[in-house]
Homo-oligomer: A and B are copies of this chain.
Amino acid sequence: MVETEAAGGIRRMAHALRFLAADAVEAAKSGHPGMPLGMADLAAVLFSRHLKFDAARPDWADRDRFVLSNGHGSMLLYGLLHLTGYPGVGLDELKQFRRAHARAAGHPEYRHFPGIETTTGPLGQGIATAVGMALAERMMNARFGDELVDHRTYVFCGDGCLMEGISQEAISLAGHLRLSRLTVIFDDNGTTIDGPTAVSTSDDQVKRFEASNWAAIAVDGHDPEAIDAALRCARASDRPTLIAARTRIGFGAPTKEGRSVVHGSPLGEAELAGLRQALDWPYPAFEIPSDIAEAWRAVGRRGETESAAWRRRLDQAEPARRAEFERRTAGLLPQGLKAAVEAALAALAETPQAIPVRQASRDAVGLLSRHMPEMTGGSADLTSSVLSQAEGMSPLAPGAFAGSHVAYGIREHAMAAALNGMALHGGLLPYGATYLTFSDYCRPSIRLAALMGIRVVFLFTHDSIGVGEDGPTHQPVEQLASLRAIPGLKVYRPADAVEALECWYDAVAGTGPSVMVAARQKVEPVRLAPASQMLSRRGAYVLAEAEGPRDVTLLATGSEVSLAVAARDLLAGRGVAAAVVSMPCWERFAEQPADYRRSVLGAAPRFAVEAASPFGWTRFVPDEDHVFGVTGFGFSGPGPEVYRSFGLTPEGIAARVLEALGRPATAE
């Protein structure tokens, strides 16, 4: 092959990426050199000729998004950010690769460097997150027009990402929505950790993507002009595009190229020297020849003019439109929202109604979204059950991106990751819904939301054995505990309409991710008096104080709060003064001052009431015998009967409390 001058230049620029990666891995004595060596040519062509970005302004809202789904190749990304001149990505940072607390972490972590659009590492997450970004771009475009929103999303991924099931959900969703501005570049190197891909897969990826309404092109991933041509095709396509790029893992490594061994370990001194020789790269570690360094800097400045023109357009936009664009992309609440919520809370307290909590949740979203058009809903094919589509929300459809409710299909995992992508993209406040028991399908993406601290709301209805006849496969039991175990995640379980609105407001007013858990069944309202403050925002509060000194405190959440209130009345009739504490959010409660927590919990014996596994409640009660919950799995049958069989009735609760307090079991 006769290389053009341009291709030759690109190749040397790619080598700079290769050696930054290989040398940093070598210095760290751990890491993944194989992917950066293999994908460097693809990265060099994408960044130098296609990606719309301005390294000096990594927060430019209209930049193209680049997602490294195969996050173990993090050094490729760090090298790109460094060479193109992203602020704060100095050589010293790269030299700290994989050291304790280094910003150049083992896998790319959101907020560690500007230009890291999302945390990746768990395979398949990046591609699904990118689908959310690409969808957000079209939605923002439908709201603010081409002059403010007109960019693309590029993903690098490997065999691992494409073998993970979440990728199928993401691909299928993107193809259906015709997200033509999404391009996936597949590192088709025929290798996984266990050996050649032939050990574990026989998939025809091109055909697979085509089956999901994608364009698909196979190219030589080491031929810059071929890569360039494929990227041009992708930009012209009316469908999302797969570029299956045949590459050699560990490109250039004399004995390790093309072999699994180069995936996840340093090359070693001799092999690295051999690589230098093979690629004609005589420079020491971390030294980039000035012509190549300058060429990369120029790449970093490629978007300067365009980003300046964009800022001018924003400056010249109609002021209200500009302010709204800026508010939404900054994730700020609109003025007047809190007052509107407080007024609505007062009205709810005045006209209490027994409604399902899921319906209360829908009403809360309806109110919020009237003030916050950035609220973007959706469900995994359960819209009429989870009540995710609030009044005034229109369905989104392929080519009709002005809608604000997404039909994610039966793709819970990709939905959760897409929500993350929408939040990361900016301009939207995404939530998505399914049944609580299927939160298990979303878990890896929920974890990433928590790790990144992004504002996403995962709405899970049908939240207990109250689901009834559908039986134990559909009755969550351990999900509340396992979600509460995730660091940095707020888990709300409101008891009625007032709490639902308070919790929703708290979720959208915060910065991190939330899980909103809502009962399917109708519940008696418990918050009957207007409060001067949104009590749920404290996480737990005394809903009903005991008459006189407390004999016992009943802690409860969600649909079981009204049960606890009824039990309190029964206990009062037996001369036992019980307080009821509603605990809609443990995590918010943990943030309160110790004095407040002590006063709420009280010194009297405590019992917990929650139709779920007792696991974790020992944080508040002495042992699991003090929990009215669900031990083991539930069973199929009418919801009230299932509740009864677990002793979850006012009578059952009162009787066991009396027994525990040593009070006579018969009437006095």
Contacts and interface: CB of A to CB of B under 8 A. Distances in A.
Nearest to A239: B202
Contacts of A485: 478, 481-482, 485, 613, 615-616
A207 B211 contact: yes
Interface stretch (A272-280, A352-360, A436-444, A522-530): A436-444
A31 interface: yes
Contacts of A166: 165
Contacts of A211: 203-205, 207-208, 211
Nearest to A176: B202
A637 B101 contact: yes
A632 B487 contact: yes
B202 A385 contact: no
A291 interface: no
A120 to B, nearest CB: 8
A596 interface: no
Interface stretch (A7-15, A405-413, A603-611): A405-413
B637 A102 contact: yes
B478 A637 contact: no
Contact of A410 (B98, B163, B413, B616): B163
A289 B385 CA distance: 38
A533 interface: no
Given A413-B165, A443-B440, A613-B485, A200 B408 contact: yes
A414 B478 CA distance: 22
B411 A163 contact: yes
Contacts of A437: 122
A368 B618 CA distance: 38
A574 to B, nearest CB: 29
A121 B204 contact: no
Contacts of A255: none
A382 B194 CA distance: 6
Interface stretch (A222-230, A467-475, A564-572): A467-475
Contact of A164 (B160, B411, B447, B618): B411
Interface string A428-459: 00000000011011011001101100000000
A106 B623 CA distance: 33
Given A107-B471, A635-B105, A172 B203 contact: yes
Contacts of A31: 469
A643 to B, nearest CB: 11
A653 to B, nearest CB: 20
A317 interface: no
A192 to B, nearest CB: 5
Contacts of A469: 28, 30-31, 98, 106
Interface string A54-73: 00000000000000000110
A615 B484 contact: yes
Contacts of A192: 381, 409-410
Given A172-B203, A485-B616, A193 B381 contact: yes
A383 B193 CA distance: 8
Contacts of A619: 618, 623-624
B409 A201 contact: yes
A636 interface: yes
A641 B398 CA distance: 50
B487 A631 contact: yes
A168 interface: yes
A122 B441 CA distance: 10
Contact of A194 (B101, B176, B213, B381): B381
Nearest to A71: B473
Given A100-B637, A168-B168, A471-B107, A384 B203 contact: no
Interface string A474-515: 100110011011111000000000000000000000000000
Interface in A95-124: 98-102, 105-107, 109, 119-124
A398 B412 CA distance: 31
Contacts of A101: 635-637
A310 to B, nearest CB: 33
A339 interface: no
A605 B355 CA distance: 47
A205 B172 CA distance: 11
B478 A487 contact: yes
A210 interface: yes
A471 to B, nearest CB: 4
Given A469-B31, A618-B618, A194 B383 contact: yes
Given A202-B213, A211-B211, A619-B624, A121 B471 contact: yes
12 contacts: A107-B636, A119-B473, A121-B471, A122-B438, A165-B166, A176-B202, A193-B382, A200-B410, A204-B211, A477-B487, A488-B633, A616-B616
Given A72-B470, A163-B409, 18 more contacts: A98-B638, A99-B638, A102-B637, A106-B468, A121-B474, A163-B381, A164-B410, A165-B168, A165-B414, A175-B202, A193-B385, A194-B409, A203-B213, A204-B210, A207-B207, A207-B210, A481-B485, A615-B616
User: 9 closest A-B pairs (Cβ-Cβ)?
Assistant: A165-B165, A100-B637, A200-B409, A482-B482, A121-B473, A168-B168, A105-B636, A207-B211, A618-B618
